[in-house]
Structure 1
Amino acid sequence: MNCTYFGVYTVAGARRGGNATSISWPWNGLNVLRKNSPRCRVFKVNVLAKGRKEAIRSAWDDEPFEILPSGKIVHLDVQDIVTILEPPKELIPLDPASYNPATYVWKKIGDIPEARRHQLLLLLKPRLVSRLWAVAGSRFDDPKLMKKSASSLTSMQDAEWSREFWTCQKSLGPFPISWVNNFKKVLFRGQDGAIYGRLFLGDTVLGRAASSFSPLYFSVKEVSEVMATEQPCDLAYDFGDGLLDPANVPEGFPVPVSHRQPFADQLVVYIRHAGPGVMVGQAWQEGKELEQVPKKFCGEILMVKDPGPVEESPVPRIT
């Protein structure tokens, strides 16, 4: 009778010039993995009827990965982004003037397969998301990099799909959204050809009810700087009063209604493209009154595009 086993071997020394260490398989290897092996590869072996073994390449064999204390798997190509954002002293360039970190971040994000870029949401804590905002700002020093976009839809060019779903993560913020750190956004093209969007705050009963009865629509605009700081940026999500022209709202979406607080006080989210399928945002309450001083709405926001075509459910689930 034929059967299949899965085995694991460590690659902890591979990036430091060491040799990979074999671990016995099938079950002993998995036990060692949980206890002592932070960087590993997975392979599958088919055992044929006469005891012959046939190694089969696994999808996980493409890149080594690390198992975090929480049990979740993070690949090392994703961890490279953390290293660039917070490099050890020995990796700091001798001539910082000749080094543009945004170029390296863009390339490294592009090297991560789209299907696992969501791991950035797990790895990048608020401090590193703020650092990503700063690093993405150096992109404006490179004329070629400035022309690149994280999304074909928001680049104002013809896109293959008329909608894009993104998973977002923030920190802090006013009540009642201070407890909603993970949420979704959808970008879509209206009948007038402009780009609009909508936020989905959480996958709870309360969050889904709020998204249905008080949808958070916004318009996407090309702007060159954050009004409050005069720092460069690519786009602005202008929430305005929320009353979009119903003709521009996709079928199945709720009718626009006036935004409620805290979204009704001229909320604008400024966007910087950080890499393919990755944006970072900074939200500001700019106020309706001329004398009102703008203030930050929450911590910087990390946004990662969901993989694959998304011409489907108008209400995505938060995972």
Structure 2
Amino acid sequence: MTAAGGFCKVPLPFATPTCSKYRGGGLISISPASPSPSPPALRLSSFQGLRLYSGRGIAVGATARARAGVNGASDTASFEPYLEEMDIVTFLDPPNDLIPLDPNSYNPAAYLWKKIGDIPEERRHRLLQLLNPRLISIAWEIAGTRYHDPKLVNKTASNILSDKDTSTPFQVFNCRTNGGPSLIAWMKYFKKAIFYGNNGNTYGRFIGGSIMGHFSNQSSPLYFEVTQTKEVMSTEQPCDLAYEFGDGLLDLDEYPSHFPKPVKHPYPFNDEVVIYIRHIGPGVLVGQAWQEGKKLDQVPQKLCGEILMVKEYAP
């Protein structure tokens, strides 16, 4: 992402800027030329401290970290984000002083899909640290505009259902949410593995990363079935997939190596929990978890905040 002279309008989901001409979706302007041979500073009103390194890498200042939600000890990015990654943060949380464009002139989901595609696969996992739960929720909403475009709606973030390659035992995704009830507080950061069953169906399981998560991995592995679904039952909003947890007892003869045998789910996962999935970019998904309940008169409620899922890079 570079900047040059001139002015243009850049499409963004909520407010969009009148800014220096960009290439690759950048929302920056280069400061006036200086006789100093050092690289020019890149200035952005909402990202003080953004500075170019070696042509592409950047270091993020305190304001940028605060907006990205990585100012906590456990969330602090231990890397120097690249401009492509910070494009996503700016796109989801633009400065208030940007001039909005006509929302009918572009599709925000298409723009987000392209910007995620600009990030090399081996770096996409960094979005888990750069995007806080509020921005993940915004990503879910933006992904909803994808269904307005017949061409875009056919794109998928993963070929897990369309190309059942038996030589690949499973696909792993790294995930982030804001946790939820104390019973599932270990779910702030976790992994999920998607695999093919010998009955032709697709399944998955959640793998916790904390101490409580490791205990749950063996005592109560959280298995679910992957199904194609077009609508979130509780809200009637569009989606692509559903992870149905059921009672946890899968009728399978074989499991991937080192996967534990399924047992009945503990509460609340035994109370008709379903996670609805939207594709938002290559290798990236966002989900909403709902506890729909076994009782007919039970009102469905969200189990936790939205969940960002990034496919693990496998060279």
TM-score w.r.t. length of structure 1 = 0.77
- Counterpart residue type for residue 16 of structure 1: S
**Separation in 2, partners of 1:276, 1:107:** 9
Q: Determine whether 1:77 maps to 2:62.
A: no
Report Cα offsets for 1:12-43 as digits up to 9, x if no partner.
9994134596459xxxxxxxxxxx9642324x
**Separation in 2, partners of 1:203, 1:265:** 23
Kept after mapping to 2: 8 A contact 1:84/1:101: no
Q: Determine whether 1:275 maps to 2:281.
A: yes
CA radius of gyration, larger in = 1
Report the equivalent of 2:194.
187
Q: Determine whether 1:215 maps to 2:227.
A: no
**Separation in 2, partners of 1:245, 1:91:** 54
Of residues 11, 23, 29 in structure 2, which corresponds to 1:16? 29
Q: Determine whether 1:244 maps to 2:256.
A: no
Report the equivalent of 1:126.
133
**Separation in 2, partners of 1:99, 1:90:** 20
Report the equivalent of 2:101.
94
**Separation in 2, partners of 1:98, 1:248:** 50
Report the equivalent of 2:180.
173
SS in 2 for 1:246: coil
Alpha-carbon shift at residue 269 of structure 1 (Å)? 0.3
Report Cα offsets for 1:220-251 as digits up to 9, x if no partner.
00000000000000000000000012325223
Kept after mapping to 2: 8 A contact 1:12/1:37: no
Kept after mapping to 2: 8 A contact 1:93/1:99: no
- Counterpart residue type for residue 133 of structure 2: P
Kept after mapping to 1: 8 A contact 2:109/2:143: yes
RMSD between aligned alpha carbons? Answer: 2.4
Report Cα offsets for 1:153-187 as digits up to 9, x if no partner.
14x23447341111100114112212431011001
Report the equivalent of 1:230.
236
**Separation in 1, partners of 2:49, 2:107:** 34
**Separation in 1, partners of 2:93, 2:144:** 16
- Counterpart residue type for residue 124 of structure 1: L
**Separation in 2, partners of 1:22, 1:230:** 57
**Separation in 1, partners of 2:132, 2:261:** 35
Report the equivalent of 1:66.
59
SS in 2 for 1:106: helix
Report the equivalent of 1:264.
270
**Separation in 2, partners of 1:180, 1:143:** 34
Report the equivalent of 1:139.
146
Kept after mapping to 1: 8 A contact 2:284/2:311: yes
SS in 2 for 1:279: strand
Q: Determine whether 1:39 maps to 2:32.
A: no
- Counterpart residue type for residue 187 of structure 2: V
Report the equivalent of 2:13.
none
Alpha-carbon shift at residue 93 of structure 1 (Å)? 4.2
Alpha-carbon shift at residue 116 of structure 1 (Å)? 0.8
The change in CA–CA distance for 1:118 and 1:208 in structure 2 (over 3 A counts) is same
SS in 2 for 1:65: strand
Kept after mapping to 2: 8 A contact 1:153/1:162: no
Aligned-pair identity in percent equals 51
The change in CA–CA distance for 1:64 and 1:287 in structure 2 (over 3 A counts) is same
Report Cα offsets for 1:36-62 as digits up to 9, x if no partner.
9642324xxxxxxxxxxxxxxxxxx5x
Alpha-carbon shift at residue 89 of structure 1 (Å)? 4.7
Segments of structure 2 that go 5 or more residues without pairing to the other structure are 5-21, 23-27, 40-47, 63-75
**Separation in 1, partners of 2:94, 2:190:** 29
**Separation in 2, partners of 1:208, 1:178:** 13
SS in 2 for 1:73: coil
TM-score w.r.t. length of structure 2 = 0.78
The change in CA–CA distance for 1:208 and 1:179 in structure 2 (over 3 A counts) is closer
**Separation in 2, partners of 1:113, 1:146:** 22
Report the equivalent of 1:51.
none
- Counterpart residue type for residue 161 of structure 1: T
Q: Determine whether 1:202 maps to 2:209.
A: yes
The change in CA–CA distance for 1:37 and 1:68 in structure 2 (over 3 A counts) is closer
